[in-house]
A and B are shown apart, each in its own frame.
Chain A
Amino acid sequence: MKKIKIITMIVLIILITMVSFFGVYTQVQNRMENRVRDYALDMDLDGARYVRLSVNKESTDVIKDANGNEVETDEEMTDEQLAENGYTKESVPNNSEDLLTVENYEKSKKIISERLESQGVGEYEISVDNETGDILVQIPENENTDTFVSNMNTVGKFEIIDADTKEVLMDNSDIKLVNVMYGSASSTSSGTTVYLNVEFNKEGSKKLAEISKTYVKGDEDTTNTTSEDTNTTTENTTNTEAENTTADNTTTEENTTDDTTSTETDATEDSTESTTKEITMKIDDEEIMTTSFDEPIENGKLQLSMGSATTDVDTLQDNISQASSIASVLDSGNLPIQYDIESNEYILSDITNTHIAYLALAVGIVLLIGFIIFIIRYKVNGLLSAIAFIGLISLYLLVIRYTNVSVSIQGIVGIIVTIILNYIFINKILSTIKKSEDSKKLATVKEGIKESYKEFFMKLIPICISVIVFCFISWTTISSFGMVMFWGIALIALYNYLITATMLKVRAEK
C-alpha cells in the first residue's frame, strides 16, 4: 500500500513534467498544436516596438497683415489676393532655431516618459541624441502600442480662446492636472459617461471663473460646434458622482448643482441663433468644441464628457481609452519641439531561444550534480527528494505560464533563485532527519520537517516582504521578478508539504 502511494506520486510527477516540458498536443485542422499556454515574455526577451522621433524640419506658410499680425484663414489665397488685402506670406519653420536646444530635447524626452508612464506602459527605454534631438523610444508590443505611439509626438497644446476674437484666454500653464472620471450623467439616465476632468491651478481657476461669468449662455442659445474626431461635451453643470479611473488617481468627485445641461456634440449641428459670447477649446490647434457656460465655475474644474452615456462595455472602454490619451497628453505638458515619427517598427530581441536553451542546459547540469549529491548523502530519501524536486520545477513553470506572469531577465533570475532556495530547503529537511538518532522513525521525520519549515521560513520573511512589495510595482521587470518569486516561495511551502514531505513520511512508515 505504501509502495503504491510512492509510485502514484512518482507517476503524477512524471505526468506534470511531461506536460510542462513537452506540452499537450491536439490536432487543429492539419497540424498539431500545443495546448499548454506559452510564456508571456517582456520586452528584453520578446522584442520591442522601436519608435524613432525626429525633429520636424518643415516650415509652415503664415499670412500676416500690414501690421505684422497673423491672419487666420481657411481659404488658399493667391498672390494677387494677398497683395489686394495688403497681406504678406512668410515661411515660418515649425521649430525655430532657438527652440532646438539640449534643454528642450531633454524636456521633450521627459514629457514623453511621463506620457508613457501615465498611460500605464510598464516598461520602456528612451534615449535622446543631444546633437540632432532625435529620440528613440522602445516600448513593449501589445494591443495598445499604436495608441501609445500616436500620443508620443502629439504636442499637447491646450488653449481656450475667444470664438470671435481668437484671443487666447487660457493655455497649458493654467492646468494643474487632467484625469479621467466616469459616472452616470444623471440619476434618471442609464449608462456610464466618461469625463475628462481638467483641474486648473490657482491662476487658472481665477481665469476660468472670470471666463465662465463673461461667456454665459443666452436664453435661446443651443449652438454647438463639432470636432471631427473627438466627441466631447462640456459638462459645466453636473449632478454627477464621478469616479476617477486613471491608474494613479482614485479620487471621487462630487459636483452638485440644480440642473444638468449636457450639450452633445455629434456630427450634426443644432442651429438656433447664438446670442452669447462663446469660447473655443483647442488641443494642438484643433477645435474640440465651441460653447458657453450656464453659470460661473468657481471650483476651477472643468469636466468634459467623452461620447454619450453608454452601457456597452466596448464603447465605454473606447471612451476611457480616448479620454486617457488626451489626459496623459495634457497632464504631461506640451512638447517644446514638434516631432515627427520617422520610423516605427517591431524589432526582435537579441536574446534568442538559443541563449535561453544554453542557460536552461547549464541550470539542468548544475541541478543534476545537486541531485547526485542528494542521492550520495541521503540515499533513498535523497532520491525521492530529487524526484519531487523535478516535479516542483515542472509545476512551477506551468504556474508561471497560467498566472500570466510576464517573464523578464529578472524573472529568469527569480526562477533560478527559487530553485536554489528549494535546494537549500530540501537539503535542510534531509540533513535534519539524517542528524536524528533514528532517521527512519516517522516521528523523527515529522519533527525534522516541522523544524526545517520553521527555521527556513523564519529566515525567508524579509525576502518574502521584498517580493510582495515588488509584485505591486507597475514597472514590468521588477514586478516580473516579484511575481515569479512569489509563486516560487508559495510552491516551495505548499508543494513540499504535500509531495516531498508526504513521500518522506510514507517511506519512514515503510
Chain B
Amino acid sequence: MKQFIKSKQLKIILIVLVIIAGIVMIAVKGLNFDLKYQDTQRVELYLKTEFNISDIRQITNEVFGSQKVMIQKVEVFEDSVSITTTSISDEQKSNLITKINEKYGTELTAEDTTVEDIGHTRGRDIIKPYVIPFAIAVIIVLIYLGIRYYKLSIVKVLAKSIGIMALAQILLFSIIAITRIPIGRLTIPMVILVYLLTLFGITTKFEKDLSKKKLDESKDKGKKK
C-alpha cells in the first residue's frame, strides 16, 4: 500500500514537473510553429518539365542548409515548383536559380523571380474551428457520464472527468513545448487522439468502479438476508 501511494505521489510529482517545465518553456521560448504557419518567404519557379521533389530537395539542401523548406508542385501540369522557407536572401535566390538552371536547362533569372512574403497563421486561428465541436462533444459526454455513473456520485464523476481530460491536454501541450515538436498539421490529430484515449480510460475506470460497487452492494444485501 505504502509503495502504491509512493508510486502515485511520484506520478503526480512527475506530471506537475512536466507541466511547470512546459509553462516555463512557453513563457520563455513560446511554441515552435511549423513552417506552414510561420512568417515565411516563397519563390515559384517554372521548370517547363515535370520534376521529382527529391531532386529539388537536394538543391534546396545545398542552398538553404539547415533551414526548413517546403516544396510543392504547382498547377495541373506540375511543371512549376513552389519553394517556401523561413527567409530567402538575394544570394540564396541567385544560387537557387543557378542550380535550377543547371539541372533543368531553364533560363531563369534572379531579376525576374520575385520572392513573396507570407504572413504567419495565428495559433488561435488554427484551433478556432475545433473549439465549438469539442465543447459540444465534451458537454454531451459529461451528461452521459453523469447519468450512467450516477451511483458513483455525479459530482465526483464530473469533476474527475473534466480534471483528467483537461490534465491530459495540458500535459500534451507541455510535452509539445518541452520537446519543441512543431505546432502544425499533426497537432490537432494528437489532441484528438489524447481526447479519445482519455475518454476510453475514464470509461474503463468508471465501469470497473461501478461493477465493484454493484458487487459490494449485492454482497451487503446477501449479508443482510
Please report A residues at the B interface, Cβ cutoff 8 Å: 44, 47, 52, 125-132, 134-136, 345-350, 352, 409-410, 412-413, 417, 455, 458-463, 465-466, 469-470, 473, 475, 477-478, 481
Contact = CB atoms under 8 A, between A and B. Distances in A.
B204 interface: yes
Nearest to A477: B188
Interface of B: 37, 39, 53, 70-76, 78, 82, 116-122, 125, 129-130, 132-133, 136-138, 140-141, 144-145, 148, 185-186, 188-189, 192-193, 195-196, 199-200, 202-204, 207
Contacts of A348: 72-74, 78
Given A409-B186, A458-B207, A475-B130, A417 B196 contact: yes
Contact of B185 (A131, A409, A455): A409
A413 B119 contact: no
A462 B119 contact: no
Contact of B192 (A132, A410, A460): A410
Contacts of A129: 39, 117-119
15 contacts: A127-B121, A127-B122, A128-B119, A129-B119, A345-B75, A346-B74, A347-B75, A348-B74, A350-B71, A409-B185, A413-B193, A461-B148, A466-B199, A473-B133, A477-B129
A261 to B, nearest CB: 43
B116 A52 contact: yes
Contacts of B82: 347
Contact of B136 (A47, A459, A469): A469
Given A127-B121, A348-B74, A469 B140 contact: yes
Nearest to A136: B118
A459 B141 contact: no
Given A347-B82, A469-B133, A462 B118 contact: no
A458 B211 CA distance: 12
B133 A347 contact: no
A411 to B, nearest CB: 9
Contacts of A413: 189, 192-193
Nearest to B198: A462
A369 to B, nearest CB: 20
Contact of B200 (A136, A463, A465): A463
B42 to A, nearest CB: 9
Nearest to A476: B129
Q: Which 7 A-B pairs have the closest CB atoms?
A: A129-B119, A466-B137, A413-B189, A475-B129, A469-B137, A348-B73, A127-B119
Contacts of B137: 465-466, 469-470
Contacts of A466: 137-138, 140-141, 195-196, 199
A482 to B, nearest CB: 8
Contacts of A458: 203, 207
Given A345-B74, A458-B207, A44 B185 contact: yes
A458 B207 CA distance: 8
B72 A126 contact: no
A410 B188 contact: yes
Most buried by B among A352, A409, A466: A466
B139 to A, nearest CB: 9
Contact of A352 (B53, B136, B138, B186): B53
Contact of B121 (A126, A130, A455, A460): A126
A52 B129 CA distance: 22
A134 B119 CA distance: 8
A288 to B, nearest CB: 34
Nearest to B203: A459
